[in-house]
Structure 1
Amino acid sequence: MPKILIVGGGYAGFYTAFKLQKHLRRGEATVTVVDPLPYMTYQPFLPEVAAGSVEPRHAIVPLRKHLKNTRVITAKVTGIDHASRTATITPEDGEPWQEEYDQIVVTAGAVSRTFPIPGVADEAIGLKTIEEATSIRDRIIANVDKASNLPAGPERDRLLTVVVVGGGFAGIEIFAELRSFVSALVGQYSSLSFEDTKFHLIEAMGRIMPEVSLPTSQWVIKNLAERGAEIHLDTQLQSAVDGKIELSTGESFESDLIIWTAGVMANPALKGTDLPLEPRGRLTVKADLRGVDADGNVVEGLWGAGDAAAVPDISGGSPLPDKSCVPNAQHAVRQGKRLAKNLVAVLRDEAPKDYFHKPAGAVAGLGLGIGAFQKGKLGITGFPAWIMHRGYHGLAMPMWERKFRVFGNWIVQFLFGRDLTAIPARDEPRVAFETFASRPAPKA
């Protein structure tokens, strides 16, 4: 049987494998998914995970549970030699091995893209994984708890100051959700007040959220300002050494939590392979998601989708200079579904179809009861947009059992309020045991 290898189990990879299970006949092909993690993360929920609105495990989809007819390998693909149709699989423990394939689907996704700004690599945290979102939540709760025992001064100010770098959708959503979260959190402490907390968002461009209209983005800025959050436009982060924030405007302050959302890049694991890549490191593909070389010729057995592929946007709605699909969940999910159908068509000597999708609009959650929506010239803000945000993403979450879990989170939150509890000790779970564990007496 033909062997199909899917590199990456994110949106595009998961949906490709899930739909292949549906479309392939018994014995028509084998499917293998390789990803370092045993689950797919629904990234639009990361801000709500960080703000305590969604339980972390409910924002992920376990691969083995839902890809029962697919071989799932928890490891990294550290090399691809398409000329010989082999990939190097490297597990966390054990020796690497060569995996042969007939068709390869590159859906390796994207990682946080940073710049060589002093202190960022040592002090900041990204927002691409469920682990990062959970850590942000625990860090904020722990910092507020520590600050409640300190007198007013620089040390307390540092613990109560949150900095987000990047004013795109991800940056604004985490910024606004955390502002809402901390406002509720400090209400539990008699020694702290709302005015003690400081929120700064740093954006190098002259506006935020380029996916929405200017009036909608200006409404978001005004709303956040009314909630005690400050947005620095046309401002660059120059240094974050030891948590001391230095801006291009000359402003300076300290923070114990710096969240980086200023861009993503294609997974660097694709570099060093013999796959055709464009200057930004993404796989070059046709609109039907088949890989193509520099001359535009189809590379047999090669497919790509999601953030790691430069998929032409034939709808004409792309804002990017190269007119490729923007890297978001809307495209990745639909590309995965189309890729599965096209791959099966090619296996059956049928013609593949081009990927075509007009975006359904952009919707953002900005804290409990507040949201923003944009579709063409139509902009909706406030509570109606928040309902639209939760409705869209609740239904877009893969698998019905996951949808029910997420909606269950929201119902419980509505009835009993936001969960403001952290478990900071889970990062070092053996400390309590080691502290009191008996040890052999030293030899005389």
Structure 2
Amino acid sequence: MTTESPEKLLSPVLSAFWDDPRSWTLETYLRHDGYQGLRKALAMAPDDVIAYVKDAGLRGRGGAGFPTGMKWQFIPQGDDKPHYLVVNADESEPGTCKDIPLLFANPHSLIEGMIIACHAIRSNHAFIYLRGEVVPVLRRLHEAVREAYAAGYLGKDALGPGKDLEITVHAGAGAYICGEETALLDSLEGRRGQPRLRPPFPAVAGLYACPTVVNNVESIASVPALMNKGKDWFRSMGSEKSPGFTLYSLSGHVARPGQYEAPLGITLRQLLEMSGGMRPGHRLKFWTPGGSSTPLLTDEHLDVPLDYEGVGAAGSMLGTKALQCFDETTCVVRAVTRWTEFYAHESCGKCTPCREGTYWLVQLMRDIEAGKGRMSDIDKIDDIADNINGKSFCALGDGAASPIFSSLKYFRDEYEQHITGRGCPFDPARSTVWADSGDGTDNAHPEVKA
């Protein structure tokens, strides 16, 4: 009896031709059914396109998993205002690395998806807000937009007679907070990137106080294949409430890290089987299902379905599907301290809970990691995280609190060891985990000879 290989579980759609010599060009994209979904969409009424995407069940791939078609439907019609589409490509979450490779290897999937979305929401101007540090991606995106203009997919009459469409590529200045949609809009308008008070929501008063849809790169890039191959094909993958395909970013202490495109609902165990498992001689200790802002999980959760409902039921969030895997040589306290330092640094300072709370979390976490903490500090960081969670202006505060709560839930004893042992038990100078085995091999790094 033969068993199906783990690779059969993959469903390459967005990544189907990333390995082509010139995958980013219009010529290559057209050879792989490029702009066929657009033809079908333009033959439909805008409201019908929205209904089609809603029926397919496409959910936002940027974190919260909000239904894409429903977000498009929120745009008011007949209001005599310009409508805007803004694509959030400010990928900054620690561990998240799917949108940048997608734009680098297959930018036309995003451009085609944007044209379809603009037709659906009756927009004549769309923006791509890209993280400014990724200059090679910026150049490649500019070239793809130029090709689309030259081919007539953008510009005059792109959406039909008298319906022009412009796309503007904007490079941000590298602020994590600008991944929050309203902070992104403020930055795009030339102001300091800080979250806005809601309501009004962007669908009513977004960019330049006009109705605006803000979508993630992968969400929009998934639309062309959905339109071309049909909603039934899309729903044949994934689960009932989380249908379709998606990119899983596997990183950390794994044998073969990278992008694995598979149906929603696959498990980490299956992904690890495809990637060669954890690095030789080591086992999984903890992992994040959606980047550092999602509550961490342990090896008990290897068989949790990686869809929005499955991960939610396990006490975490699917988020951006950034699967960071850490083995038993990793100090949980050290990892959480580094994440907390990141959130404190990236806090925009607009609201007190996040600005002050992340600062004090860093001070206490550093003391605990260095063995200078007290047992009361453990309850103190839990209390501070509780005063941030759900009480800050945007979701950055919630993201900063998540690693604290979840690490205390599963590894409180490790925090206590740092305090009672006056330092990190994973310090090479003190730890039995890192001790020499006597055969000249470092236990933590078996490939390195002493």
Normalising TM by the smaller chain, what interval?
Answer: under 0.3
Q: Which has the higher contact order (CA 8 A, sep 6+)?
A: 1
Q: Which has the higher helix share?
A: 2
Using the size of structure 1 for normalisation, the TM-score is: 0.27
TM-score by length of 2: 0.27
Which is richer in strand? 1
